[in-house]
Amino acid sequence: MPKTLPYDIYFYEAFEEEWERISAYLPSSIRAGYTDKTIRESGDNIPPAKIISVRTQSIIPESWLTRVSGLLTRSTGYDYYKSLRDKADDSVQFGYLPLYCARAVAEQAMLLWMALMRKLPRQMEQFKTFHRDGLTGCECREKSLLVVGVGNIGYEIVQIGRGLDMIVRGVDIVRKHNDVDYVNFDEALPDADIIVSAMNLTPENTGYFHYERMKTAKTGALFVNVARGEQSAPSDLKRLLDDGTLGGIAMDVYPFEDELGAALRMNSEIKNEELKIIQTLSRYSNVIMTPHNAFNTTESVERKAEQSVQQVQHFLETGKFLWEVPDPA
């Protein structure tokens, strides 16, 4: 590593509001740089700092693993960092932010399922003609909500569902909440009106919501994914919509998200077949897609900025992150 680098910490994928808040917490003694671009979009061939921070769309070049000492993902998910850590030696430390956005993501999940239930995209379209044919929606009370993954985010979703007088059940291999009605997914699926994925991505749950499993869902059930796009293949979701199994889907996360995000931002051609299906689905009136934005509230961005700076300060002082990516179970 060069003796001197331009920065102590460099933040990729830092949108304007995020960087403003990070700057407010950073002490003047820490040299920090930022860009709203991913690493690939930035064109950087070598790391500009010994600590690199990204969100969810940057791919860390393997050559950087011998040039950096710390990698910080500003997200609650850390699946990519666990696989990256296998390629790095012990001199590289990996950190994440487990606590900042649970409520924000849970409220986005609620926003999405309620928008589907009330056919909000179609309501907005039909304002142009001011007619109400085909707009009759549903209320939340007494509807069955199945939360898959009851960690910090999932538990917030459970509480919101209860507040809406829904029948709430949870699915998780770790049953840490005594007040959650835990069930087996395949057994509970046929009774669920809304299915929400809030799981961390693991090799075991990649492709979890595949067609053969989901085809036993209640006709017209709604599926919401605020976890990771790799858990639900777009081709399977399209098939479930087209054959009438699902009545609507909402996604804030996507497979191949780094590729999708870059293509949409640069208005370039999408060649990946699964991503082409996402483009097709985005034109469905019973599909809602948001740009991995569930975390993005004033409150969570404030927490995210503060905790990111805490991570950086702790690393510069100790050589370790305050919140380290957990070791494999």
Residue closest to 57 by CA, chosen among 304, 319, 255: 255
Domain map of the chain by residue range? 7-100+298-318, 102-289
Separation between Cα atoms, residue 119 and residue 287, nearest integer Å: 9
The pLDDT of residue 221 = 98
CATH of 102-289 given 3.50.50.60, 3.40.50.720, 3.40.50.620, 2.40.50.140: 3.40.50.720
The pLDDT of residue 328 = 63
The pLDDT of residue 118 = 98
Query: What value does the mean pLDDT of the chain take?
Result: 95
The pLDDT of residue 5 = 82
The pLDDT of residue 327 = 79
Q: Find out if CATH 3.40.50.720 is the number for domain 7-100+298-318.
A: yes
What are the per-10-residue average pLDDT scores of the chain (329 residues)? 75 96 96 96 96 96 96 93 90 96 98 98 97 97 98 97 98 96 98 97 95 98 97 98 98 96 94 96 97 96 97 97 85
pLDDT tens digits for range 70-106: 999 999 989 889 889 989 999 999 999 999 999 999 9
The pLDDT of residue 79 = 86
The pLDDT of residue 2 = 42
The pLDDT of residue 329 = 54
The pLDDT of residue 1 = 39
Q: Are 178 and 212 in contact (CB under 8 A)?
A: no
